[in-house]
Every structure is written in structure tokens, then in C-alpha cells.
């Protein structure tokens, strides 16, 4: 059994980790920390976990995290970078669900996240936890930077074309729609029900923090910088990301075959038949990404549709997938959920 600790268990990625780990047959939940809720039963805050999780939140300073095999950080940005070294030194492996170790260029990270990085050497060591790209490195990693939700959907949607070198990588467009849980469980006005329900809007069009993360992934695949216009939208869904991706063809290929080959052995990527329209609910509460390819009117523009559950494949599910890889388990253990539809 893998002894697991969670730092910061009161947000949505935290409760989603608990939903997945509570039934994971190889996991022993050891500690869940929260400053504000120390002493509270986890199941009192999240009644969905009654009978499933018996732990109380503990204050970080009292948590036996250094006796865990792995610690997940489900914290705001800037926390994991302060605490990871001590855990690694104690032989604990770390999966950070925040952004602290996602971007290799520390200067870029500091610009977009507005803080000074306190552990640049760990950034260099960290493995970007997108199994479909870095599976082998993840198996041996001490420290995994779990990808962001938009970057997961967008990279899984466009990497096959970029790797194949058959589209114009200077003018990619990613028009992305996210459920409101992607904004976290924070008391902020703009994500109130009466604001976000029956309403739709773009946000952060000038620049969103996931932009450099996506560009980094694309640059690795392409061998050079890419041009990407990324527009996120707040959508009245609880869970789900739908990425609508536009790429201009530069070389004719059997594009559908490219996707099918690229993801043939991927347990969590489902390439739909051509001209399909994946729905976000078709992956709700599961770790699956579904991708479909279109070429409208046979023109020169490909449209790729990519859907994930932002809390599962876009966060906690992918983190568990990474843990499974890090500990030599079957990658799919604890992640076999059938999506909840309707």
C-alpha cells in the first residue's frame, strides 16, 4: 500500500483526489492538511465522503507527511515550491497539482505568476506529468508537475498535428470553454451561481497563465517556438473543458490516421470517428479525454475537438495516473470510472 498525504484538501482538486483515492485499492490515505480546517472531519466539509474517508484535516505542522510515500499538493500556486525540497530529502515523492514546477523557464514562470521562484533547481528536476508525452520519465520521477486543465485538453488535441509537422504552427487558435469548478472553490463574486449561471463570457483574453505552459509543450514537440492564440471562456457547467482547436494544413496527410496511431495504446485517450462531436458529459467524472477531428467543407483548416473533465484528467485524475506510474502500478488502477451520463 502506498502511503499518501495531501496538502491542501479543501478545494475542488482536493476533494476530487479524495473521491478517487478513497477507493484506490493500493492507497492508504495518511494525512490531509488544512490550516483553516484543522480538526474538522473531512467528511463534515464534504458530506459526499461520509463513510468513505474517516480522516480529519490536520494542521500542516502536525502532519506526518515525511512518512508518506507520496504527497500531493492541491494548494494555491507558490506553496509546493516552499515545501517540496524537505519532502524529497525525506524520500517522499511529490506530485504538485499547482503550477510551481510546470514551466522550465523560471523567468517566464515568475513573469506570469508574479512571484519569485524559491526552488529553481527543483524546476529543472521536475517532470511534466502528461503521461501521453512523458510516460517513461514520470515512472522514475521524484517530482511531477501535474499539468493544468486547459494545457491538458489543448495539448492532447493538437500535439499529434504538431508532432507530424503538417500544420502552420505560427497561427494556432485554441478556443477553450471551461466549467466553473476550474476557477476553484474560492469565495469570489464573479463565480457566484447568480453571476455565472445562464451566462457565458470570455476572460483573460489578453493572456492567461496556461498560455506559456501550452506553448512550452508545443515548442518541445515542434523544436521551436509556436504562435498560439488562446481564449478561455467561463461556461455554465460544473465540470468539463471543451477545446475547439483550429490549425491550418501545410501538408496533406491522413489526419485521422495520425491521431489513431498517436493514441493507439493510450488507455485514457479516445479518438472518436471522424466528424464526431464529443460532449463534455461523455467524460464527466472520468479520466478520459475524447478527441475528434473535422475538416469543414474540405478546406485548408482542421478543427479538433477535445474534451476532458477539468477536475479529473485535468487535475486529480491525471495526478493519480502519474502516481500509478511512479509506483509501478497499472496506470489505470483506481481510474476505471464510467462517466456519469446523464
Q: Which of 52, 56, 85, 135 binds its own copies (CB under 8 A)?
A: 52
Nearer to its own copies, 93 or 209 (CB): 209
The distance of closest approach from Cβ of residue 257 to its own copies in the complex, given in angstroms and rounded to an integer, is: 19
Residue 264 within binding range of its own copies, rule CB under 8 A = no
For residues 157 and 8, give the distance between their C-alpha atoms in angstroms, rounded to a whole number: 30
Residue 294 within binding range of its own copies, rule CB under 8 A = yes
Q: Which cell numbers hold the place of 23? A: 477507493
Among 70-78, 117-125, 146-154, 290-298, which window interacts with its own copies (CB under 8 A)? 290-298
**Residues 127-156, interacting with its own copies (CB under 8 A):** none
Residue 237 within binding range of its own copies, rule CB under 8 A = yes
Per-residue burial over 290-326, b if 16 or more Cβ lie within 10 Å, else e, is: bbbbbeeeeeeebbbbbbbbbbbbbbbbbbbbbbbbb
The distance of closest approach from Cβ of residue 80 to its own copies in the complex, given in angstroms and rounded to an integer, is: 23
Q: Residue 315 phi/psi, 5° resolution?
A: -165, -90
Residue 78's alpha-carbon distances to 74, 133, 194, in angstroms, are: 11, 25, 31
Extended strands (E) in 39-169? 57-58, 70-73, 93-96, 127-128, 143-145
Site string for its own copies, 56-95 (x = CB under 8 A): ----------------------------------------
Neighbours of 21 (CB within 10 A): 24
Q: Which of 57, 72, 230, 259 binds its own copies (CB under 8 A)?
A: 230
Among 62-70, 77-85, 116-124, 275-283, which window interacts with its own copies (CB under 8 A)? 275-283
For residues 71 and 66, give the distance between their C-alpha atoms in angstroms, rounded to a whole number: 9
Q: Is 176 a catalytic residue?
A: no
Among 54-62, 112-120, 185-193, 252-260, which window interacts with its own copies (CB under 8 A)? 185-193
Q: Which of 129, 160, 179, 334 binds its own copies (CB under 8 A)?
A: 179
Contacts (Cβ under 8 Å, ≥6 apart) of 260: 271
Q: Which of 200, 223, 257, 330 binds its own copies (CB under 8 A)?
A: 200
Residue 114 within binding range of its own copies, rule CB under 8 A = no
Site size for its own copies, by CB under 8 A? 89
Strand order in the sheet with 93-96: 57-58, 27-33, 2-7, 70-73, 93-96, 143-145, 127-128
Q: Which of 192, 224, 257, 330 binds its own copies (CB under 8 A)?
A: 192
Q: Which of 149, 166, 176, 289 is catalytic?
A: 149
User: What amino acid positions are annotated as catalytic residues?
Assistant: 149
Amino acid at each position: 500500500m502506498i502511503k499518501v498525504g495531501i496538502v491542501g484538501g479543501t478545494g475542488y482538486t482536493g476533494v476530487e483526489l479524495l473521491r478517487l483515492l478513497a477507493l484506490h485499492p493500493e492507497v492508504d490515505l495518511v494525512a490531509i492538511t488544512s490550516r483553516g480546517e484543522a480538526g474538522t472531519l473531512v467528511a463534515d466539509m464534504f458530506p459526499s465522503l461520509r463513510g468513505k474517508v474517516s480522516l480529519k484535516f490536520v494542521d500542516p505542522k502536525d502532519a506526518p507527511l515525511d512518512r508518506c510515500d507520496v504527497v500531493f499538493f492541491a494548494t494555491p500556486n507558490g506553496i509546493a515550491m516552499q515545501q517540496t525540497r524537505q519532502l524529497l530529502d525525506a524520500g517522499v515523492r511529490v506530485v504538485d497539482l499547482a503550477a510551481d514546477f510546470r514551466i522550465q523557464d523560471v523567468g517566464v514562470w515568475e513573469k506570469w505568476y508574479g512571484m519569485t521562484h524559491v526552488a529553481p533547481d527543483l524546476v529543472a528536476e521536475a517532470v511534466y506529468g502528461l503521461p501521453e508525452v512523458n510516460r517513461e520519465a514520470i515512472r522514475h520521477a521524484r517530482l511531477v508537475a501535474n499539468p493544468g486543465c486547459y494545457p491538458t485538453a489543448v495539448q492532447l488535441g493538437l500535439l499529434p498535428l504538431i508532432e507530424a509537422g503538417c500544420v502552420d504552427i505560427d497561427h494556432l487558435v485554441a478556443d477553450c470553454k471551461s466549467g466553473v469548478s476550474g476557477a476553484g472553490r474560492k469565495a469570489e463574486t464573479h463565480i457566484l451561481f447568480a453571476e455565472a449561471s445562464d451566462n457565458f463570457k470570455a476572460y483573460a483574453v489578453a493572456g492567461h497563465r496556461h498560455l506559456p505552459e501550452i506553448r512550452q509543450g508545443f515548442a518541445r514537440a515542434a523544436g521551436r517556438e509556436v504562435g498560439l492564440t488562446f481564449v478561455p471562456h467561463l461556461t455554465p457547467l460544473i465540470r468539463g473543458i471543451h477545446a475547439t482547436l483550429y490549425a491550418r494544413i501545410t501538408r496533406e496527410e491522413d489526419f485521422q490516421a495520425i491521431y489513431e496511431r498517436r493514441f493507439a495504446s493510450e488507455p485514457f485517450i479516445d479518438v472518436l470517428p471522424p466528424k464526431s462531436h464529443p460532449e463534455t458529459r461523455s467524460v464527466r467524472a472520468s479520466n478520459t479525454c475524447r478527441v475528434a477531428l473535422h475538416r469543414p467543407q474540405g478546406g485548408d483548416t482542421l478543427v479538433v475537438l477535445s474534451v476532458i473533465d477539468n477536475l479529473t484528467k485535468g487535475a486529480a485524475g491525471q495526478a493519480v495516473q502519474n502516481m500509478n506510474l511512479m509506483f509501478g502500478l497499472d496506470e489505470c488502477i483506481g481510474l476505471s470510472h464510467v462517466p456519469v451520463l446523464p
